[in-house]
Amino acid sequence: MKAVVLAAGKGRRLWPLTENRPKPMLPVANRPILEHIFDALAQTAVSEVLCVVGANRERIQNHVGGTYRDLEISYVVQEPQLGTGHALLQAESLLGESFIALNGDRIIDAELIEAVIDRQRETTEPVMAITRVKEPSRYGVVALDGKTVIGLDEQPLPDRTKSNYINAGVYAFGPEIFAAIRRIDTHGEQALTDALASYIDDRRLEAVRYRGTWLDISKPWDLLTVNSTLLGTERAPKAPGRSTAIDESAVVADGTAIGDDTVIHPQAAVLGGVSLGDNVSVGAGTIVENAILLSDVTLKRGAVVTDCIVGANTTLGPNTTIEGGRADVILEETLHQDVTLGALLGDNVAGGGNVTITPGTIVGNDVTLGSGTYVSRQVDDDSHVQRG
């Protein structure tokens, strides 16, 4: 059995982190999203994976290579990125009579993949996995007639949803899906969901209900939620990485993920929901809670970092405060109200001492934050913020 993993998307709502890496390479529980997906695939009947890559594709190819556990990995390039259906079309010539397709930004269990494979073998019909969520209008709603999908609404109004079931992003297809994709062209893009909405007008699409792990990552605060959910489970590292030094006076919560060559200095407190990447330095007296720190991050003494994602090679000066909490955040001109996000900081941010960053702030890549500055809302790449 072959599987196609759709991992070519830009992930614009996760800017600035996705400027320098593809979305599936963002870490949760100190491992790229894509590794969690490959782990699930490795526990199933799948033996070969075609990974559709695009933006910053070398980051995936160099990290994963040609094998992962018992999986044979090959790559197909989608350029330009014109939707999920278009991405699947790029793998058409390499696929046989039936195959699995799944999104590269959702963490699932092997149980779901096996259920989809089994249903497709039983019925020989195309299959879509569905799952029930509290806010289906965030994802698009699936209408059902028994075990058959009869409707797909990608933009339902919150008060008019006809179902609590959504598309879980795992499918079993045969070659007929490619003709359905080719018939779709919406403003220059070919979305797989649009193709399926057309397909079910005259063909059957089987639904597999799923109640296990289903974690979607589309916005910055999703990274924090998923990271916290996975920490302490079998998906997270069980012990600190190699050459890690933790001072005996420091406090480190159970279930924290700590990478290689990381140093936690005296009196520091690394509390719940924290992943520290490789070569991270947590300064003396610093407090970190509900945060993801990518590799080579330095937090100087007395910093407070809460509800925050910090990009690679970023330094925050002494007594910097990211207080955390809830805020309204604008992503791609859409207002998201009352979400938990202290800040999202890009790569190579250089922060001076006594900087204050307010909840909901997004700071781009290669930004300099001068000592004593008060930072809020959004700061563009390559900016220099100075005290007025």
Question: pLDDT per residue over 330-379, tens digit each?
Answer: 998 899 999 999 999 999 999 999 999 999 999 999 999 999 999 999 99
For the chain, domains (ranges, CATH) are 2-218 (3.90.550.10), 230-385 (2.160.10.10)
- What's the CA gap between 350 and 368, in Å, rounded? 5
At 199-230, the pLDDT tens digits run: 888 889 999 999 989 999 999 999 999 999 99
Pair of tokens at residue 355: 């900087």
- What's the CA gap between 347 and 351, in Å, rounded? 12
Please state, as a whole number, how many other Cβ atoms lie within 10 Å of the Cβ of residue 94: 13
Helix axes 110-123, 33-42, angle to 10 degrees: 50
Higher pLDDT, 89 or 189: 89
For residue 159, what pLDDT band results from cuts at 50, 70 and 90?
A: low
For residue 124, what pLDDT band results from cuts at 50, 70 and 90?
A: confident
Name residue 130's beta-bridge partners: 167, 209
Q: Can you tell me the mean pLDDT for 302-306?
A: 98
pLDDT at residue 157 in the model:
60
- H/E/C letters for each residue in 213-242? CEEECCCHHHHHHHHHHHCCCCCCCCCCCC
Contact by Cβ (8 Å): 166, 217: no
Question: pTM for the full model?
Answer: 0.93
